[in-house]
Structure 1
Amino acid sequence: MDTTSIKNLFKLKSVPIEPEQETFPKNEDNLNNESLEENRKRTYHESGYRDSSRTSGNHSTLSICLDAVYSKFQNEEKEMVEKQKNLKESYVNEQKNRETEIKALTVSQETKEEQVKSKNTEVENHQHAIESLKAEILDLPRNPEKYNVKAARGASAKFWIGTIILIPITLYLATFYISTSYSAFFKNFDAKSTVIQSVLDAQAFSKAWNEGVIEGAFVTLIPFVFLGLGYLIHMFWENKTRANYIKLGLLFIVTFIFDSILAYEIESKLYELNKIFDSPPFDLKIAFTKIQFWGIIFAGFIVYIIWGLVFDFVMKEHREKDKIKNEQEIRQRKVEFFQEKINVLKKDIEEILANIGNTKELIIKTRGRIEELQNIIDGVIIPTKDYKLYASEYVQGWITFIGEKIAVSRTEKQTMIDDCIATYNTNLETVGANSDNQNLVYLSSL
């Protein structure tokens, strides 16, 4: 590249601008701005030319001079109040939006905190309800009337006492009816048998099964007949109606007759075993005069009545006990219901607290951004695109001097120019005005 080409490339033209013929006149403010910009370019171009002349176009000195140019440009931009205001307008608007966002986030945070407070209050109320219900569950058996439960106090204790009494009576009746039924219908008496041995045979169960399945099944199942009759007594007695009273009376009569048959059969066998030649035939009249006859009847019938009364008592106490148990179960279900609500509330509280944490974090970040924006607003915004324009004018002036005034070979001159251009590009990179980011704004306060 020759000196003339370099000059033509970098020299700032100062040819006066002639007005053009236009349909509409140019805006006077635009003309003034264009005139100021041209003057400013010329100033930077001339400064570059002058500084280059002082340093003989040294590229190392150019780096220092460009730093000074940047400082000068920064001070000039700072003095342009209206331009700075326009450049900062977007940051001011963003700051206002961020402040509005913080207000919204703060309201949201306060709302969530109120929700947490409300839900914590619900949790406490449910916990108090659970504690109260658990206390009622424990106190119900002792004081059912306190909770309007129509059940006898101590029903549970009475139930177990009655059950303990009922078990041995049941075993007694089973033993008695197995033995008496075997003796009455299947046993062969001998002269050596005593009255007790004739009525209560310790081996009646095994003997009956040894004699046959029918005999064994009969003596095994006959106690359940009397237990079933006792159960019916309880059922009829539970519903006190005239018909049930009649049925109850018939049950007692049937049981008494059956016990009388057993007693009659046993007493008949004993009479036949011990009668003499002139003894009359055994009949009811003779049976009624025998103590053993009445002993067998009352040993079974009276105990059977006692068993029925105890069984009725146990069932009534069980019903009373069930009333209390049902009330306890109702309260236990309420406890489980409240516990489920507490679990749901605690889960909701955890989610809300997590949201509050995120909101607080977002508020902190937004406030940080507001501070950054305030620093930008308080500082000086350097439009890098403009700086590149004026810096290029300065370097053009610098290189123009090299091309016009430095008396060296063409090769050396080209090397000097290349070094100056490299220094210029390095400066653009340093201040953030490189060609890849023409529209970025360099913030001097950051």
Structure 2
Amino acid sequence: MIAQIEEFFNPKTADPPQDENVEIKEPVTEETEEVRKRTYHEAGFRDGSRNSGSPLALSICLNAIYARFQNEEKELVEKQQLAKEPYINEQKSKETEIKTLVISKESKEQQINKVETDIRAVKDNIEELKFEINDLPRNPEKYHISASKGASSKFWIGLIILMPLSLYLFTFYISTSYSAFFKLLDANSVTVVMNILDAKAFEKAWHDGSLEGLFVTFIPFVFLGLGYLIHMFGEVKSRWNYFKIGILFITSLLFDAILAYQIEEKIYELNKTAEDDKFGIFVAFGKIQFWGIIFAGFVVYLIWGVVFDFIMKEHREKDKIKHEQLRRKKDIQIHQDRISDIEIQKAKLIEELSDIKKSSLEAQGRIITLQRIIDAVIIPTKEYVLYASEYMKGWITFVSEKLHISMHEKIVLQTECIACYNENLKSVGASEDSQNSVYVTTL
């Protein structure tokens, strides 16, 4: 207990008071400080003598001492200004920060408004494209498309003609190819027609073997393919394409001539006598059946090609509309992808705007807090501990030297007084754990 009292009279030097890393600079001289300390010491001795060292009276007196210390600090205008200068500077910095945030906030809001305008414009484009897709078949000329509004009667008539012509060519080339390459004529073949057109050519070819069957099945597609190539080359007008078309026509004619020659040779060899000449190209040219086979195949093939080309041209008119519709559908998809990208950009801007508002609110809250500190009186707790300890020394000096009681009673009384003193320091925020802080209170 005695050691505790001795420690009180020899306190450790405390660190300078701090609040948010701010150090208070004291504009007082050492002489002024000594006078002030002596004043507090004398006040403690005097109050202790008046109250006979009562701990209860000490508690009340310490509260009064703290109030007195507050008033004294409040009167030290220059010292208060120095103490508040860091807070004033921080407040100015926060005000500048808020102005910057306001500008950033307005900029972000303008960007968001622009993004929303872009989204609305893109959505309007999508709606317009959807309307055009529905309106194109009804009014193609409105969109500068040279196409008929509906399927023309010429297209359907041509399609009706093309289908039986295709069936005819299938039948003709299956029969003639079988007769030319696989059929064996004998003395029982009565007429030429029976030898050229065989109603069971397809069945007989598959009966003779799969190779024969596949050959007669797919050979009509060769001629149809040639007709399709002629149409495709005719799409682009050029000398080279015209040359290709001529080669294809000659190829088709030669193939029909070969079929006719093969069939006519078989018929001639079957019916010739010892007096007849050997069959050759000039003999074939003199046979009416030879030219009949060519005309029955090649001429019909030409008719089929012309009808097919006409139908494709008519259908191309409808393709123009479908092409324009497809192009607009692709444009819609592009616009929708663009909207998704803009929405992502908008979400990012909204998030940035939210952060700016949050930072602005935090800065405004900090300014309010700083203003409260500036309007208040800053109490340097280190100095209060210094002067309060001087007051306590005066009080304890009276108890030790002037109060006529036993030594044991003095020690008990001093211990109680020190406890009151520590309680006072704790109540005003000047405990040992907070010696380096600046205690702020509003008067």
Deviation at residue 388 of structure 1 after TM alignment: 1.1
CA separation of 1:226 and 1:265: change in aligned 2, threshold 3 A: farther
Structure 1 equivalent of residue 23 of structure 2: none
Structure 1 equivalent of residue 434 of structure 2: 437
Confirm whether residue 105 of structure 1 aligns to residue 101 of structure 2.
yes
Checking the alignment, whether the CA contact within 8 Å between 1:233 and 1:251 is kept in structure 2 is no
CA separation of 1:71 and 1:257: change in aligned 2, threshold 3 A: same
CA separation of 1:415 and 1:189: change in aligned 2, threshold 3 A: farther
Pairwise mapping of residues 388-403 of structure 1 onto structure 2 (< 5 A)? 388-403=385-400
Pick aligned residue for 2:169 from 156, 173, 176: 173
Pick aligned residue for 2:52 from 56, 65, 82: 56
Checking the alignment, whether the CA contact within 8 Å between 1:155 and 1:320 is kept in structure 2 is no
Q: What secondary structure is seen at the aligned counterpart in 2 of 1:382?
A: strand
Confirm whether residue 420 of structure 1 aligns to residue 417 of structure 2.
yes
Checking the alignment, whether the CA contact within 8 Å between 2:253 and 2:298 is kept in structure 1 is no
Structure 2 equivalent of residue 81 of structure 1: 77
Structure 1 equivalent of residue 14 of structure 2: none
CA separation of 1:321 and 1:421: change in aligned 2, threshold 3 A: same
Deviation at residue 390 of structure 1 after TM alignment: 1.5
Deviation at residue 46 of structure 1 after TM alignment: 2.3
Structure 2 equivalent of residue 152 of structure 1: 147
Between the aligned partners of 1:158 and 1:204, the Cα distance in structure 2 is 37
Query: For residue 108 of structure 2, what is the amino acid of its counterpart?
Result: K
Query: For residue 66 of structure 2, what is the amino acid of its counterpart?
Result: Y
Deviation at residue 328 of structure 1 after TM alignment: 4.7
Structure 2 equivalent of residue 38 of structure 1: 34
Confirm whether residue 377 of structure 1 aligns to residue 389 of structure 2.
no
Between the aligned partners of 2:164 and 2:409, the Cα distance in structure 1 is 131
Deviation at residue 383 of structure 1 after TM alignment: 1.6
Checking the alignment, whether the CA contact within 8 Å between 1:92 and 1:377 is kept in structure 2 is yes
Deviation at residue 311 of structure 1 after TM alignment: 2.3
Deviation at residue 395 of structure 1 after TM alignment: 0.9
Deviations 1:285-309 (A, max 9, x none): 9975x9xx96x77664554233212
Q: What residue ranges of structure 2 are gaps of 5+ in the alignment?
A: 11-25, 272-282
Checking the alignment, whether the CA contact within 8 Å between 1:142 and 1:153 is kept in structure 2 is no
Deviation at residue 410 of structure 1 after TM alignment: 2.0
Checking the alignment, whether the CA contact within 8 Å between 1:59 and 1:420 is kept in structure 2 is yes
Confirm whether residue 410 of structure 1 aligns to residue 426 of structure 2.
no
Q: What secondary structure is seen at the aligned counterpart in 1 of 2:123?
A: helix
Q: What secondary structure is seen at the aligned counterpart in 2 of 1:406?
A: coil
Confirm whether residue 208 of structure 1 aligns to residue 217 of structure 2.
no
Q: What secondary structure is seen at the aligned counterpart in 2 of 1:373?
A: helix
Between the aligned partners of 1:372 and 1:308, the Cα distance in structure 2 is 93
CA separation of 1:154 and 1:266: change in aligned 2, threshold 3 A: farther
Between the aligned partners of 1:30 and 1:380, the Cα distance in structure 2 is 16
Greater Cα shift, 319-328 or 170-179? 319-328
Q: What secondary structure is seen at the aligned counterpart in 2 of 1:439?
A: coil
CA separation of 1:51 and 1:168: change in aligned 2, threshold 3 A: farther
Deviation at residue 229 of structure 1 after TM alignment: 3.9
Deviation at residue 354 of structure 1 after TM alignment: 0.8
Between the aligned partners of 2:245 and 2:378, the Cα distance in structure 1 is 110
Between the aligned partners of 1:158 and 1:69, the Cα distance in structure 2 is 115
Pick aligned residue for 1:349 from 334, 346, 351: 346
Pick aligned residue for 1:129 from 125, 130, 133: 125
Between the aligned partners of 2:285 and 2:390, the Cα distance in structure 1 is 153
Between the aligned partners of 1:143 and 1:64, the Cα distance in structure 2 is 100
Checking the alignment, whether the CA contact within 8 Å between 1:178 and 1:223 is kept in structure 2 is yes
Deviations 1:161-211 (A, max 9, x none): 566764554344213321344356616589799998766545322211322
Confirm whether residue 120 of structure 1 aligns to residue 102 of structure 2.
no
Q: What secondary structure is seen at the aligned counterpart in 2 of 1:442?
A: strand
Alignment root-mean-square deviation, CA = 4.3
Q: TM-score, length-normalised on structure 2?
A: 0.75
Between the aligned partners of 2:262 and 2:148, the Cα distance in structure 1 is 43
Deviation at residue 131 of structure 1 after TM alignment: 3.2
Deviation at residue 351 of structure 1 after TM alignment: 1.1
Count of equivalent residues: 412
Q: Percent identity of the aligned residues?
A: 50
Deviations 1:399-428 (A, max 9, x none): 111001222222321222122122212211
Deviation at residue 365 of structure 1 after TM alignment: 1.4
Structure 1 equivalent of residue 223 of structure 2: 226
Query: For residue 209 of structure 1, what is the amino acid of its counterpart?
Result: W
Deviations 1:347-387 (A, max 9, x none): 12111111111111111111111111111222222221121
Deviation at residue 265 of structure 1 after TM alignment: 7.6
Deviation at residue 112 of structure 1 after TM alignment: 1.1
Q: What secondary structure is seen at the aligned counterpart in 1 of 2:439?
A: strand
CA separation of 1:96 and 1:286: change in aligned 2, threshold 3 A: closer
Between the aligned partners of 2:285 and 2:344, the Cα distance in structure 1 is 87
Deviation at residue 82 of structure 1 after TM alignment: 2.8
CA separation of 1:63 and 1:203: change in aligned 2, threshold 3 A: farther
Q: TM-score, length-normalised on structure 1?
A: 0.75
